[in-house]
Amino acid sequence: MNIAERSTSSIAPIPRWLVAGLTAAVLILLGGWLLAGVYVYYRFAGPVAPRVMVGDTPIGGLSDAQAAERVDQRWNRERVLLVTDGERYWQAQPLDFGLWVDPAATACQAYRVGRGERRWQELWQVIFDRQPLEIRPQVVFSPTIAVERLRNWRGLVEYAPEPPQLSYAGGKWRAVPGAAGIALDVEATVRLMEQNAEVILRSGVLTLVTRRLPSPTADLEARLPSLVEQLNRPLRVEGYDPILDRSEVWDVPPELLAEWVRLDWESGEPRLRLDEIGFPAYLEGLQERLTDGRSVWLPPDPYNLSERWVSGTPYTVILRHPPTTYTVQPGDTLLSISYRVQIPAWMILRANPRLNPDVLPTGSALTIPSRSDLLPLPVVIGKRILISISAQRMTVVENGQPIREFVISTGIDRSPTQPGVFQVQTHVAEAYASVWDLTMPYFLGIYEAWPGFMNGIHGLPTLSSGRRLWAGNLGRPVSYGCIILDLPAAEWLYDWAQNGVVVEIRE
């Protein structure tokens, strides 16, 4: 063995425990220096610690100024405040109600994370805990601004209680309160905001403090006895049949009428009126009461139910007749059938296009148009002209009472006047009939003797030569189908009978 070999073999290996100890010491030393470095960095310089949040706003890693700017943007400028009274909702900004977050103070508080008294605990959370570290926003509230804003919002939030209304049950009327109103309690709302400023900002919801304003009923209850007479007055609908000159009257059921009653207050006085929205449905229901085929026709006039109810004037509808059929009898002619059913012959031919007027088989059925087709205009209620062919007289009736009577002349046998119920349809001061070269003064057209040719009522006619016809013949048939009056009577009737007046011609 040489000296070199002896020297090498004498060096002992380093124990493993010593290596492990030295490694651990180095790591501890490095960890300490790291912690010390992090501490020194966040204690004396650097941004806001990572994962720091102001509510839902992350500001970790930002400088003090950047953190303040972000807090101001998110909490004061972008945040929306939902304002509610529990039923309605409006949008505003917290600043409008004196609520805001102090950006500088909040950023300063965030910057102290890892730098304050709890710095070691906070540094541990920063380095090793992955959960966000949330700090509270520094909320500022100005009661002065809130009071001013809430007072301005009164017009938006508040509404008066609805006036009391009337209710009908068991045959009796009583006063019932309307919907309550809302009043905004500004002082209570401000106190609520002072106590819960941060909660309001965080939730984004400001619930206003309001109080209910009950509907007053005492005044209506005191006046109810004076209203009962009107409330119990029926609303009547009259169905007028101009063909038969007969009326049927229906009273709107009290329970239904009560649903239409509305109460308005004008200068402190109650005024009753009827809501007309349900009236058309009631009129449709009247159709079911008519079992003879007639139908209800509504005039174009406004309902004016309130005025009619107060005055007791019924609303009048017109009853229309349906088409009918006629069975041909032995010896019938188209003209005799026309007289019997009181429909001009040409209308019967139009309703039966395959009918041969010269051959009417006994027992065959003819379609007869509705007699109401002869009344194309709105019927004038309260006026009627009655004409008797046999008596050669005209009676003028107004409101059920005869007011004038005239001697007349109707058509001769070969050109007779058609019996039936017709209507004044035209006014022509001087009508001309080229077929007979007649000028007819004060002409009232009442029916078409055939399409395009109107028979009517007029004064004594003249020929183109100027000769006046039939002046001494009134009282017997002399015309070609029209009804003739002397000139003063014709002029008076021309002015009295507006279009729509019913004319009834009897045999």
Residue in the structure block whose two tokens are 């030295």: 22
> How confident is the prediction along the chain (507 residues), in pLDDT tens digits per residue?
444 444 444 555 666 666 666 676 666 666 666 655 555 555 444 687 787 888 888 988 888 889 889 999 999 999 999 999 999 999 999 999 999 999 999 888 888 776 655 555 555 555 555 667 788 899 999 999 999 999 999 999 999 998 888 999 999 999 999 999 999 999 999 999 999 999 999 999 999 999 999 998 998 999 999 999 999 999 999 999 999 999 999 999 999 999 999 998 888 888 999 999 999 999 988 888 888 899 998 887 889 999 999 999 999 999 999 999 999 999 999 999 999 999 999 999 999 999 999 999 999 999 999 999 999 999 999 999 999 999 999 999 999 999 999 999 999 999 999 999 999 999 999 999 888 899 999 999 999 999 989 999 999 999 988 899 998 899 999 999 999 999 999 999 999 999 999 999 999
Cα separation, 199 vs 409, in Å, equals 99
Which runs of E-coded beta strand occur in 129-235?
133-135, 139-141, 165-169, 172-176, 181-184, 205-207, 210-213
Predicted local confidence at residue 2, as pLDDT: 45
| CATH 2.40.440.10 intervals, the chain | 383-506
Cα separation, 154 vs 176, in Å, equals 27
pTM of the predicted protein model: 0.66
User: Per CATH, is 324-373 categorized as 3.20.20.140?
Assistant: no
Contact 424, 444 (CB under 8 A): yes
Return the H-helix or E-strand segment holding 249.
strand 246-251
| CATH 3.10.350.10 intervals, the chain | 324-373
Predicted local confidence at residue 145, as pLDDT: 96
The encoded tokens of residue 42 equal 């966040």
User: Per CATH, is 383-506 categorized as 2.40.440.10?
Assistant: yes
The burial of 493, by beta-carbon neighbours within 10 Å (0-12 exposed, 13-18 middle, 19 or more buried), is given as buried
Contact 503, 423 (CB under 8 A): yes
Q: Are strands 502-506 and 383-388 parallel, antiparallel or unpaired?
A: parallel
Q: Compute and round to an integer the Cα radius of gyration of the chain.
A: 50
Predicted local confidence at residue 41, as pLDDT: 52
Residue 141 CB coordination number (10 Å)? 20
Q: Can you give the length of the chain in residues?
A: 507
Predicted local confidence at residue 265, as pLDDT: 85
3-state DSSP helix/strand/coil % of the chain, to nearest 5: 35, 30, 35
Which of 220, 309, 316 is CA-nearest to residue 269?
Answer: 220
Burial letters for 87-119: b for 16+ Cβ neighbours within 10 Å, e otherwise?
eeeeeeebbebbbbbbbeebbebbbbbbbeeeb
